[in-house]
Amino acid sequence: MIALAIAGIALVALLSLSNRSIGVNGRLQKITQATLLAQGKMGETESAADRGTLQYENEVGEFTPPYDEFRWQISFEDTPLPSVRMVTVKVLWGDEKKNQLVELNSFLF
């Protein structure tokens, strides 16, 4: 009887751990996808700067399906060097109050 109780407690603990693992895996998938989307936006921004077509204006938008649950923000800041600007790309998802985002920073010459 005691062995059965111990086995029951162990099974409950393992099921709890398994459910938590599934939740963590889902969050990691979102972070990975957001990072890849942010890298893509940063690449587009750097490419536009190289071509001389970048407007250096803050922008916001949403990704197209199948990534429509993600939003993006691009902002620019001056630096002490006049020919260098800092660009920040943020990819956000979920509820804004939870502050779920990935942020990349780079410098444009």
Q: How far apart are CA 61 and CA 31, in angstroms?
A: 18
Q: Specify the pLDDT at position 9.
A: 83
Q: Specify the pLDDT at position 25.
A: 81
Q: How far apart are CA 24 and CA 18, in angstroms?
A: 10
Domains, the chain, ranges and CATH?
A: 2-108 (3.30.1300.30)
Q: Specify the pLDDT at position 86.
A: 98
Over its length of 109 residues, how does the chain's per-residue pLDDT go in tens digits? 888 888 888 778 777 776 677 777 888 999 999 999 999 999 999 999 999 999 999 999 999 999 999 999 999 999 999 999 999 999 999 887 888 999 999 999 8
Q: Specify the pLDDT at position 107.
A: 97
Identify the helix (H) or strand (E) that includes residue 44: helix 2-51
Residues 6+ away with beta carbon under 8 Å from 79: 85, 86, 107
Q: Specify the pLDDT at position 44.
A: 96
What residue type is 14 in one-letter code? L
